Each structure stands twice: as structure tokens, then as C-alpha cells.
């Protein structure tokens, strides 16, 4: 059993344990897990961690403070927002409705929700579930329209209005994976249409209550007083400050829960109790894209089949809240981590992932070897891919060189898949013929990089300055000059430095956006297209009257 030493009254509130580890784990495993959370102290925001083995909770602890202003300790029953971990519950609700005969995954979304962006191919419900609809990220549009300083999007209906204003998609439906919260806002609205119940009531009746999740609810009214809810914090200039969500967006996020409730959910659905084996199969089914690539996003779950003992998982981040939920059915392990602070972001440390590495054998979580490629590469053609690539979506540059056996990154040979795609360990690099590079980490979102060209950007900034308007955003942005160079200004008034990359392309890392200026046949700038990880080619047309460059 777990052992307790004398603790202060505060620590008793901040620390709780349950169960015991199964045989086969080292005797000191609990102490090793505890050591991961030394960053959480009694006077700072903290987190919860819960672990189960074969359905039995063997570890459940909480550290730190739920509210710094009131001095309220964080306990294992404190409510913490789960961010995008919420998506698996939204997807499960849709699958239950199909089980009930109230909808079909291959039906067009337009049957239930009108006014969506048009396409020559319909957006199906299954496209929303697997993030293959092509719908742009609604929150990107809201940010360019001034949110949160100017525009506050209050609820799912307001987000739907933003989604419906878009004239184009990121891709044809079903042809590419691109993560977008817009998909899961539509799924939550679709649940209400098909069930005749509110989304919160449907999930409570058919998911939370059957699974025994007694502490779980949706943040569907941001005015509501919720007892036991922790406050969220970020670290800024060495001090903590509150960073709470002040809206009623729920479905893609917005789930208030505890780590132990999340374990109950893992045990409930992974054993087939949600709707039988057939529904579980749908939760974990993967799509094959038209180009032959496997989309490893199931029904609100990332699924890692590239290791000997596959895992189901999802992370979450909403304002200052952070989360991760892992389920390894083969190992019998479930891990839930929730935190009311984003402070670990800066060190790239995720406790749930680290705990899985501790509990699993190395061979269980090591990537499976790939088949050796016999692709023949042409050195002359490879030469065009070499150079320094920069990204607004990543803090790291990529320098591609050419060695005697092919392309190199950090002096390590890239493994060819075909003439345009290469692996760097388990990271996929996809080049294009126009100086672009897409970097896709395992079970992660693709990041856009661009080949830099320092010569082509040595020209006057004056041509780029001006005001640009977008009907899809219903707002304007401005490009102006400062002593340091060009700046992007949003409706909120905030200015962001623009870093030159190549001809007519600039990067804005502060908002993870790249800008590509468009010219007419007279070589005059007529528009600028903004691209983020989840929104491609958002067009702003240049206004006739330029703004002041002060």
C-alpha cells in the first residue's frame, strides 16, 4: 500500500492517494512518479495525476493551489478544464446517435446545419469527426477580427456564424487531415439537432452518468458559478496571472472534470460498455486518405499504431488549463493529467507521457521499424530542396544540406519515401516545388516551413504597407512600418513584427502566421493571404487608401 509521512494540514488537502501498484512494477515507482511533480509547490498552481491498471486506480494525487487569491488548495476533486480531451466525448455522442438510428456518419452535414462553405464535394459527418472536412479554424478568424480584445465570441452559435462566412476550405472534404475546432463545434450542434436535447443534457444522460463521472460537466455558461472549479494561470514576466476562458464554446473543449473521472471514462468506453464492440470499433477506426496516407485521428482520439502496444490519447489546452489522457488497452494502463497552469509549456514537458514511459517496457513504446525504401533519388533534383527553412509555426529553423548519399538534416541522412517525401527519424518532411516544406511529427499537426531567400527581400517596405480588408473575417488588418521593420496590426490594435522570408512572404511567429502578398499583372500588390496551422490562404484585399505608417 502507499505510505504517508506526517504532513501539514495544507498538504493533506493537496495530496491524496488511492490503491496500490500491481506486481511487476519496481518498488520505487511511486516515488519516481512523485519526483516528476516537484515543479508543483504549495504556493503555486498545480495539477492532478491519476493512474489505473486493469481498471483499478493505483495512483491519484493533486499538488498546488486551485486559487491563488483565496489560498484554496487543489485536491483530487477540484474541477479542471480538459481542453481538447473533450473532443472524444463529443465524437462519442455522435456515434451513440448513429447507434440509435438518428443519423448516419456518411450523411452530409448540410442535412442538419445549413450555410456551410460550399464545395464540389459534400462535407460528411465522418469528415468532421476525423478532421478531414477542410473547414478553417474558427478561432483564427475570430483573432483576426479582434478577439478577445475587441470581439468576444460567446457561444457555439456565434462561432457557427464565423464558420459560415468562409468562402473556401483548406482542402476538399475527405482528402487531408487538418485539425480544426470548427469540426467539433458543428458536431456539438449536430447532436442537438439529431437528439432534440441540449448537448450538455444528452452527454450527461448517455455518457457521464453511465460512466460514473459524477464530477464532470460542460462550461456552457461562462457566467455560471461552479463550486470546486480551479482558476487557470499562466506565467508572465516571472509571475503568475489568471488566464481563464470567458465564453460558452463547448464540444471541441469546455469539459470541466477531474483526473479520476477521466479514468472512469477510459474504463467505460475501452471495455465496450458505451455502445458495444461495434461502437468501440468506430471510435478507434482510422481513415486512409486518397494519397494512401493513414490518418491516425479516430473519433476524438489520436491513435498511435506505430508502436508495439498501441495507445489512444489526446492532449488539451484552453487558456491556462492543460490536460492529457492516455489509454493503453494492451498494457491495461490509463493515465490522466490535468493542470491549472500552462507553466510547463516552456520546457516541453508532459507528465502523462513521461509516466507512460516509466510504466511501459521500452520495447512496448518504441517506434516500429519501417520497411527500407528502395526509392532512387536524383542528386540534381535534390539540390533544389537544400537551404535554410523558417517557420512562423515553429521556433526552430530547418537547414537542409546535400551529402554524398542524399539530403541531410543536422548531418543526419533523410530516409526517402518518394521523390518529395522523407523521414527524419519518425518526423515526415514533405517538400514541394515552390520552396515549401511541411513537417509532420508523429501524431501531431503539420507545420509549414519556407525556403528563405535573403536577396529577394532586400527591397523597399513601402510597397507592402497598407490596409487590407476581408469579407470572411468582416474586419481589416494593416501592414505598417516601424524603426525595426514591417509590422502586422490587427483590429485589436496589437502590432506584431513581420520577419522577411522570401519574395513577398513574411513570417509572424507571435501569431503563428505567414503572410504572402499577391500581385496583379502590373506587379502591384492587390492582396495578402494569411496562413496559420489550421487556416490556409485567408485572403485580405488591399484597400485603395493606405494607412499611416506611424
What is 267-325 written as a DSSP string? HHHHTTTTT-HHHHHHHT--EE-TTS-EE-B-SS-EEE-SBSS-EEEEEEEETTEEEEE
Radius of gyration of the chain (CA): 24
Q: What average pLDDT score do residues 36-49 get?
A: 94
Sign of CA dihedral 40, 43, 48, 51: positive
pTM (predicted TM-score): 0.92
Average pLDDT of span 52-66: 96
Instruction: Give yes or no for residue 496 having a pLDDT over 60.
Output: yes
229, three cell numbers: 472549479
Number of domains in the chain: 2
* Same-domain check for residues 535 and 484: yes
C-alpha cell at 457: 527581400
CATH of the domain at 509: 2.40.128.50
Q: What DSSP assignment string belongs to 365-408?
A: HSBPPPPPP-----HHHHHTT-EEEE-SS-S--EEEEEETTEEE
Q: Are 338 and 347 in contact (CB under 8 A)?
A: no
**In this structure, are residues 367 and 426 in contact, taking their beta carbons and an 8 Å threshold?**
yes
Phi, psi of 269 (to 5 degrees): -75, -35
Average pLDDT over residues 397-401: 95
Question: Quick one: pLDDT band at residue 8, thresholds 50, 70, 90?
Answer: very low
φ and ψ at residue 188, rounded to 5 degrees: -65, -40
Q: Is residue 397 part of a domain?
A: yes
Cα angle 225, 231, 234; round to 5: 150
In a domain, 485, yes or no: yes
Mean pLDDT of the chain: 91
pLDDT for res 7 = 33
Query: What integer is the mean pLDDT of 196-207?
Result: 98
Task: Tell me, yes or no, whether 384 and 436 share the same domain.
Answer: yes
Q: Can you tell me the distance from the alpha carbon of 325 to that of 265, in angstroms, rounded to the nearest whole number?
A: 10
Give residue 549's pLDDT band: very low, low, confident or very high (50, 70, 90).
very low
Evaluate whether residue 373 is within a structural domain: no
Domain harbouring 394, CATH code: 2.40.128
Q: Is pLDDT above 70 for 11?
A: no
Do residues 472 and 523 both lie within one domain? yes
Q: What is the pLDDT of residues 230-247, one digit of tens each?
A: 999 999 989 999 999 999
Please check whether residue 475 lies inside any domain of the structure: yes
pLDDT band at residue 25 using 50, 70 and 90 as cut-offs: confident
Please report which confidence band the pLDDT of residue 16 belongs to, taking 50, 70 and 90 as the band edges. very low
Query: 81 or 28: which carries more pLDDT confidence?
Result: 81
Q: Report the greatest alpha carbon distance in the chain.
A: 79
C-alpha count within 13 angstroms, C-beta hemisphere, residue 404? 0
Same domain, 498 and 439: no
Distance CA 249, CA 90 (A): 13
Asked if the model's pLDDT at residue 84 lies above 90, the reply is yes
Average pLDDT, integer, range 30-40: 93
442 and 383, same structural domain?
Answer: yes
Flag whether 521 is in a domain.
yes
H-helix or E-strand containing 117? none
Q: Are residues 446 and 474 in the same domain?
A: no
Q: What's the rounded Cα separation, in Å, for the pair 99 and 339?
A: 34
Give the model's pLDDT for residue 455.
58
CA angle at 158 for the pair 155 and 160, rounded to the nearest 5°: 110
**Is 92 within 8 Å of 207 (Cβ atoms)?**
yes
* One domain, residues 445 and 471: no
Is residue 114 predicted with pLDDT exceeding 60? yes
End position of a domain, from candidates 425, 451, 477: 451
Which of 392, 422, 451 is where one domain is finished? 451
Domain co-membership, 428 together with 392: yes
Let me know whether 472 and 426 are in one domain. no
Q: Is 439 helix (H, G, I), strand (E, B) or coil?
A: strand
Domain annotation covers residue 431:
yes
3-state helix, strand, coil in the chain (%, to 5): 25, 30, 50
Which pLDDT belongs to residue 453?
Answer: 84
- In the numeric block, the cell 515552390 is attached to 434
Polymer length of the chain? 550
Residue 69 burial by Cβ neighbours in a 10 Å radius (0-12, 13-18, 19+): exposed
- Calculate mean pLDDT across residues 198-202: 98
Identify the domain boundary among 419, 451, 483.
451
Spatial CB neighbours of 293, under 8 Å, sequence gap ≥ 6: none
Q: Cα(347)–Cα(343) distance, rounded to whole angstroms?
A: 8
Residue 507 lies in a domain: yes
The tens digit of pLDDT for each residue in 252-291 reads: 999 999 999 999 999 999 999 999 999 999 999 998 999 8
Residue-level pLDDT at 483: 87
Answer yes or no: is 444 within a domain: yes
364-384 mean pLDDT: 86
Q: Which of 477, 455, 456 is nearest to 465 (CA)?
A: 477
Residue with cell 469528415: 127
Residue 150 has pLDDT above 90, yes or no: no
Range of the domain at 538: 466-542
Is the same domain home to 444 and 507? no
Integer Cα distance of 417 and 370 in angstroms: 10
Model confidence at 445: pLDDT above 90: no
Grid cell listed for 394: 515553429
Residue 454's pLDDT is: 60
Amino acid at each position: 500500500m502507499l505510505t504517508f509521512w506526517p504532513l501539514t494540514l495544507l498538504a493533506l488537502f493537496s495530496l491524496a492517494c488511492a490503491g496500490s501498484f500491481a506486481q511487476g512494477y519496481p518498488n520505487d515507482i511511486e516515488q519516481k512518479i512523485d519526483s516528476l511533480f516537484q515543479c508543483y509547490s504549495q504556493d503555486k498552481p498545480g495539477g492532478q495525476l491519476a493512474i489505473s491498471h486493469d481498471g483499478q486506480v493505483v495512483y491519484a494525487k493533486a499538488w498546488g493551489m486551485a486559487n491563488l487569491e483565496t489560498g484554496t488548495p487543489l485536491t483530487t476533486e477540484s474541477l479542471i478544464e480538459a481542453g481538447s480531451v473533450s473532443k472524444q466525448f463529443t465524437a462519442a455522442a455522435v456515434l451513440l446517435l448513429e447507434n440509435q438510428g438518428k443519423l448516419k456518419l456518411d450523411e452530409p452535414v448540410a442535412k442538419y446545419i445549413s450555410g456551410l462553405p460550399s464545395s464540389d464535394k459534400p462535407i460528411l459527418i465522418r469528415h468532421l469527426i476525423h478532421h478531414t472536412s477542410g473547414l478553417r479554424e474558427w478561432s483564427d478568424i475570430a483573432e483576426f477580427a479582434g478577439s478577445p480584445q475587441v470581439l468576444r465570441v460567446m457561444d457555439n452559435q456565434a462561432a457557427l456564424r464565423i464558420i459560415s462566412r468562409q468562402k473556401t476550405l483548406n482542402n476538399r472534404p475527405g482528402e487531408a487531415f487538418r485539425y480544426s475546432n470548427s469540426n467539433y463545434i458543428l458536431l456539438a450542434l449536430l447532436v442537438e439537432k439529431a437528439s432534440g436535447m441540449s448537448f450538455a443534457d444528452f452527454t450527461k444522460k448517455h455518457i457521464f452518468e453511465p460512466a460514473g463521472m459524477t464530477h464532470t460537466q460542460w462550461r456552457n455558461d461562462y457566467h455560471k458559478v461552479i463550486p470546486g472549479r480551479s482558476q487557470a494561470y499562466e506565467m508572465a514576466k516571472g509571475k503568475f496571472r489568471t488566464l481563464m476562458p470567458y465564453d460558452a464554446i463547448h464540444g471541441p473543449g469546455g469539459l470541466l472534470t477531474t483526473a479520476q473521472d477521466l479514468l472512469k471514462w477510459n474504463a467505460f468506453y475501452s471495455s465496450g460498455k458505451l455502445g458495444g464492440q461495434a461502437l468501440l470499433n468506430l471510435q478507434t477506426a482510422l481513415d486512409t486518405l486518397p494519397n494512401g496516407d493513414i490518418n491516425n485521428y479516430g473519433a476524438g482520439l489520436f491513435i498511435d499504431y506505430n508502436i508495439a502496444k498501441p495507445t489512444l490519447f489526446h492532449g488539451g489546452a484552453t487558456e491556462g488549463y492543460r490536460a492529457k489522457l492516455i489509454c493503453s488497452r494492451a498494457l491495461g494502463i490509463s493515465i490522466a493529467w490535468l493542470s491549472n497552469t500552462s507553466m510547463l509549456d516552456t520546457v516541453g514537458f508532459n507528465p502523462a507521457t513521461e509516466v507512460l514511459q516509466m510504466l511501459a517496457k521500452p520495447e512496448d513504446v518504441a517506434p516500429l521499424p519501417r520497411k527500407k525504401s528502395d526509392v532512387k533519388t536524383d542528386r540534381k533534383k535534390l539540390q533544389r530542396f537544400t537551404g535554410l527553412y523558417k517557420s512562423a509555426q515553429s521556433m526552430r529553423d530547418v537547414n537542409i544540406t546535400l551529402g554524398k548519399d542524399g539530403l541531410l538534416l543536422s548531418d543526419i541522412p533523410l530516409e526517402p519515401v518518394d521523390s518529395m517525401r522523407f523521414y527524419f527519424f519518425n518526423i515526415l518532411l514533405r517538400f514541394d516545388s515552390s520552396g515549401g516544406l511541411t513537417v509532420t511529427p508523429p501524431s501531431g499537426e503539420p507545420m509549414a516551413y519556407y525556403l528563405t531567400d535573403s536577396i529577394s527581400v532586400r527591397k523597399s517596405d513601402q510597397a507592402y504597407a497598407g490596409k487590407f480588408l476581408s469579407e470572411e473575417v468582416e474586419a481589416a488588418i494593416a501592414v505598417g512600418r516601424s524603426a525595426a521593420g514591417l509590422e502586422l496590426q490587427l483590429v485589436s490594435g496589437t502590432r506584431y513584427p513581420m520577419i522577411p522570408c522570401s519574395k513577398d512572404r513574411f513570417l509572424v511567429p507571435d501569431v503563428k502566421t505567414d503572410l504572402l502578398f499577391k500581385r496583379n499583372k502590373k506587379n502591384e500588390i492587390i492582396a495578402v493571404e494569411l496562413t496559420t496551422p489550421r487556416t490556409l490562404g485567408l485572403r485580405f484585399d488591399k484597400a485603395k487608401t493606405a494607412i499611416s505608417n506611424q
